[in-house]
Amino acid sequence: MSAREFGELWALSQLSPGIHLVALAGLIGQRVAGWRGAVASVAGMMIPAAAITVGLTAAYGLVAAAPLAKAALAGLAPVTGGMTIATAALLVRATARRGVRHAIVDLAVAAASAAAALLFGVPTIAAIAAGALVGTLALGRERSPSRETPMG
């Protein structure tokens, strides 16, 4: 596979719903070996990782009720909350790579969504639908597609 081909598949994967790495694995597998390749590459990525995740979760479950684990959780909550906020910043950074005007527009849309959820109790799904509508109508024309779409 050439670098250009990989770049194109990567750009397509960034348009997928859910986990982009799954889409990328499926696209590469399909390109290399048809639908069987897609199944094999996605299964090869997801099944071992999911098994390890379940194993870690079950192991944590054995000690979760202990006082020490409860204390650790008091430190894990702010850390995972902070990681979630940082993910938001990374999403905005990924879409706003094209200069100041883009950054301002992107920050405004993200801030409106945060305010809708925090201050006005707008349902999550309604905020996503509003973002989809605003994006389709107004945010696609400022730039060429692909390549600059968010990672994750």
CA distance 137 to 83: 31
CA distance 124 to 114: 10
Segment 124 to 143, residues that bind another protein, using CB under 8 A:
124-125, 127-128, 130-141, 143
Residue in the block written with tokens 């994006």: 135
Identity of the residue, 3 or 18, whose beta carbon is nearer to another protein in the bound complex = 18
Query: Can residue 40 be called a binding residue for another protein (CB under 8 A)?
Result: no
Size of the site for another protein (CB under 8 A): 97
CB of 6 to another protein, least distance (A): 14
| Nearest by Cα to 94 from 32, 14, 2, 28 | 14
Give the CA distances from residue 137 to residues 73, 108, 117, 147, in Å, rounded to whole numbers and listed in that order.
43, 16, 22, 20
CB of 79 to another protein, least distance (A): 3
CA distance 20 to 58: 27
Segment 57 to 86, residues that bind another protein, using CB under 8 A:
57-58, 60-61, 64, 67-68, 70-86
Identity of the residue, 3 or 8, whose beta carbon is nearer to another protein in the bound complex = 8
Query: Can residue 104 be called a binding residue for another protein (CB under 8 A)?
Result: no
Query: Can residue 115 be called a binding residue for another protein (CB under 8 A)?
Result: yes
CA distance 2 to 4: 5
CB of 101 to another protein, least distance (A): 14
| CA 73 to chain CA centroid, nearest Å | 24
Identity of the residue, 6 or 130, whose beta carbon is nearer to another protein in the bound complex = 130
Query: Can residue 33 be called a binding residue for another protein (CB under 8 A)?
Result: no
